[in-house]
Structure 1
Amino acid sequence: MKSTGVGGQAVMEGVMMKNKEHYAVAVRKPNNEIEIKVDVYKNAIGLEAFTKLPFIRGVFNFLDSMILGLKTLTYSASFFEEEEEQKPSITEKVVNKIVKKEAAEKIVMGLTITFSLVMAVLIFMLLPYGITQLFSKQIDSYLVLSIIEGVIRVAIFVGYVALISLMKDIQRVFMYHGAEHKCINCIEHGMELNVENVRKSSRQHKRCGTSFMLIVMLISILFFMFIRVDAPLLRLVYRILLLPVIAGVSYEFIRLAGQSENYFVKAFSMPGIWLQNLTTREPDDNMIEVGIASVNAVYDWKEYLRENFDWKEKKE
């Protein structure tokens, strides 16, 4: 199976699909119509060459995914805002007074992403390390402590996903997440992209962002087990400094997993696939239609099927 290279994410009542630099957001509006926006996304940092270098590109692509994800999520939410304008936050008021609206939106987005990254590091990296230090007097083995820290990190992440999956709004987002995966799986398995074929396709995909995050957790265990630093403070610092390296390695593995049938690769991918049982739900046909509309806007799946599966379109 050859990967399409198409990726995406669920947004509020919709699906975003990205093919190379083009992306499309399809949203089911309150009046039941599907609104489709097609645009071009350029590398946020302006270092496009780095997005193609193995092990380095993972960090840049991860940041781009966060930026584009927040941008498209904000766009989809705009269709469901209350008629009364919501009052801007204190941060938005201050930024709006200093700079123009477009620049203000970029600054607020930058602050949001920075805050999200800082919180992720605190919760999923530093908190497990801090908890593990409580056992350091009872356990002398650096190797055992590293494994305990990794298990705690994975448990916090899985627990977080499990908790948010109980929220009704998030459950609908997870249904659109399922629609996104099922649409990509449909064409990557040689089937014509229609509601019937998408419905019977799998909602798990090896290139999913959920799998990427879990792979980061698992690979971090290996790094922290074998790269030893004795001083507690330095150990904390190098955990943070190694994050880009771990993200780069994890990204390469996810790329490989998307097109490899190697037994080891498939086995190492399985925890991420299992976790997708929480982050995806079976979509209804209306949601599948939105996913199909998003794919059609940015990707020629018919050409893909002709090249890879010798598919011929049926004539009416």
Structure 2
Amino acid sequence: MKYSNIGGQAVMEGVMMRNGALYAVAVRTADNQITVQTDAHHSAAGKVRKIPIVRGVVAFVDSLVLGMKALMFSADRFAEESEKELEERLAQEQKKAEKKAEKLQRAGREKEAAAVLEKAGENAQKERETLRERSRSGNGKSEDSDNTVLLTLTVIISLVVSVALFMMLPYFLSRLLKGIGAPEAVISIMEGVLRLAIFFGYMLLISKMKDIQRTFMYHGAEHKCINCIEHGLELNVENVRKSSKEHKRCGTSFLLFVMIVSIVFFLFIRTPDPVMRIVIRLLLIPVVAGVSYEFIRLAGLYDNRFVNALSKPGLALQGLTTREPDDAQIEVGIASVEAVFNWKKYLNENFGAHYVLTEADEPRGGKELYTLR
């Protein structure tokens, strides 16, 4: 296994892949085509990449911002209608308008009947013009996704909810034991147990949701594509299908490390002041995230018994957050990889392959939106 420097995440009916500053979001649209958007995302983590712990905190926030942006784009693209679907819907609405107009005509209300038909025609014309404009601009509703204020608020709310659910709730629940005279050590241990229980319960709950299960299939496609090339195989549907859907650098593993590291920190760093206990937990969250990032980074860079042993709990947990993808989902993952990564060059350099490289194999640079038919 050779480190490839690419990573990604599942989005709604698609996959986002990132390679350095370049990222791509590939989405299977409603008309069964693959729409790909490429763009550059310059991370602040690059400025502190040599500082352990700190680089992890910056990389975590940076990944969260990019992930939200990719998720919004995928939701917009998947929700858009194809021209055929639009015409079918407009035809149904036209029939309803004609039936309503006929009733009005039979009642002698000719002007109202004409107004109903005229309004239906105007609405249809506006929707056709909107679809054509989206096709020309390549934007559509995704303009809202680029709204910096909305994106910032989404990230902040996500962080607040995560801290409240996985960090503060276990703390307050464990403090209830104080009322029955439990020693501080027992309370700290129970806090850790509750944190893991809430985390695993949350993962188990969302893994049962049908809509989320499709996203988890794309999550599996993302992992399988990366595993395919990092194990020296040609990137095609057949090879991706037989690759593993678990990967050591997965965000699921990162979250598990966050839970475990936080338990260790909060178990040994104590204070008798109730207010300070809360303050310390909040202040240590960036440190916990940074230390957890170092574990994930270590897992990605090395392949030995020690690292593999550390990775096993996270890989096991991915059984909840990944599903086996179908071939159509694998195709989306491949499209996302090829938009940002020259896998043929990578296999030539790391596995002694002999692919003839062409300009078409190079990843697309800059901002671009295109459709694979």
TM-score, scaled relative to structure 2 = 0.75
Q: CA deviation at 1:76?
A: 0.9
Match among 312, 319, 334 for residue 292 of structure 1: 334
User: Corresponding residue for 2:103?
Assistant: none
**Equivalent residue of 2:177, what SS?**
coil
User: Corresponding residue for 1:206?
Assistant: 248
Residues 167 and 103 of structure 1: is their aligned pair in 2 closer, same or farther, counting only changes over 3 Å?
closer
Superposed, which structure 2 residues align to 1:137-176 within 5 Å? 137-138=179-180, 140-176=182-218
User: Corresponding residue for 1:88?
Assistant: none
Q: CA deviation at 1:78?
A: 0.9
Q: CA deviation at 1:48?
A: 4.1
Q: What amino acid maps onto 1:67 in structure 2?
A: V
Query: How many Å separate the matches in 2 of 1:37 and 1:54?
Result: 32
User: Corresponding residue for 1:92?
Assistant: none
Residues 287 and 139 of structure 1: is their aligned pair in 2 closer, same or farther, counting only changes over 3 Å?
farther
Match among 250, 272, 279 for residue 321 of structure 2: 279
Q: CA deviation at 1:139?
A: 5.8
Residues 82 and 175 of structure 1: is their aligned pair in 2 closer, same or farther, counting only changes over 3 Å?
same
Query: How many Å separate the matches in 1 of 2:346 and 2:290?
Result: 28
Superposed, which structure 2 residues align to 1:39-118 within 5 Å? 39-43=39-43, 48-81=46-79, 105-118=147-160
Q: CA deviation at 1:258?
A: 1.6
**Contact kept? 2:13, 2:78, Cα under 8 Å:** no
**C-alpha RMSD over aligned residues:** 2.2
Paired residue total: 298
Q: What amino acid maps onto 1:2 in structure 2?
A: K
* TM-superposition CA deviations, 1:171-197 (whole Å, max 9, x none): 110000000000000011111111001
Q: CA deviation at 1:228?
A: 1.9
**Contact kept? 1:58, 1:251, Cα under 8 Å:** yes
Structure 1's unaligned 5+ residue stretches are 86-100
Query: How many Å separate the matches in 2 of 1:42 and 1:177?
Result: 24
Structure 2's unaligned 5+ residue stretches are 82-122, 128-142, 358-373
User: Corresponding residue for 2:164?
Assistant: 122
Query: How many Å separate the matches in 1 of 2:209 and 2:25?
Result: 23
Stretch of structure 1 that moved more, 120-129 or 46-55: 46-55
- The structure whose residues are more often helix, as a share, is 2
TM-score, scaled relative to structure 1 = 0.89
**Equivalent residue of 1:17, what SS?**
strand
Superposed, which structure 2 residues align to 1:250-261 within 5 Å? 250-261=292-303
Q: CA deviation at 1:103?
A: 11
Superposed, which structure 2 residues align to 1:191-202 within 5 Å? 191-202=233-244
Q: CA deviation at 1:233?
A: 1.6
**Contact kept? 1:10, 1:176, Cα under 8 Å:** yes
**Contact kept? 1:26, 1:290, Cα under 8 Å:** yes
Query: How many Å separate the matches in 2 of 1:230 and 1:308?
Result: 55
User: Corresponding residue for 1:95?
Assistant: none
Query: How many Å separate the matches in 2 of 1:47 and 1:16?
Result: 19
Query: How many Å separate the matches in 1 of 2:276 and 2:47?
Result: 32
User: Corresponding residue for 2:33?
Assistant: 33
Q: What amino acid maps onto 2:19 in structure 1?
A: N
Query: How many Å separate the matches in 2 of 1:267 and 1:47?
Result: 28
Residues 256 and 47 of structure 1: is their aligned pair in 2 closer, same or farther, counting only changes over 3 Å?
closer
**Contact kept? 2:11, 2:71, Cα under 8 Å:** yes
Q: CA deviation at 1:104?
A: 8.5
Q: CA deviation at 1:261?
A: 3.2
Q: What amino acid maps onto 1:214 in structure 2?
A: L
Q: CA deviation at 1:314?
A: 8.5
Q: CA deviation at 1:50?
A: 2.3
User: Corresponding residue for 1:5?
Assistant: 5
Q: Does 1:180 align with 2:178?
A: no
Query: How many Å separate the matches in 2 of 1:192 and 1:28?
Result: 22
User: Corresponding residue for 1:265?
Assistant: 307
Identity across the alignment (%): 58
Query: How many Å separate the matches in 2 of 1:136 and 1:269?
Result: 36
Q: CA deviation at 1:168?
A: 1.4
Query: How many Å separate the matches in 2 of 1:145 and 1:308?
Result: 51
Query: How many Å separate the matches in 1 of 2:349 and 2:233?
Result: 13
Residues 262 and 233 of structure 1: is their aligned pair in 2 closer, same or farther, counting only changes over 3 Å?
farther
**Contact kept? 2:345, 2:355, Cα under 8 Å:** no
Query: How many Å separate the matches in 2 of 1:75 and 1:152?
Result: 35
Q: Does 1:133 align with 2:175?
A: yes
Residues 104 and 77 of structure 1: is their aligned pair in 2 closer, same or farther, counting only changes over 3 Å?
closer
**Equivalent residue of 2:208, what SS?**
coil
User: Corresponding residue for 2:14?
Assistant: 14
**Contact kept? 1:142, 1:225, Cα under 8 Å:** no
Q: What amino acid maps onto 1:255 in structure 2?
A: R
Whichever of the two has the greater Rg, that structure is 2
Query: How many Å separate the matches in 2 of 1:110 and 1:168?
Result: 29
Query: How many Å separate the matches in 1 of 2:74 and 2:346?
Result: 29
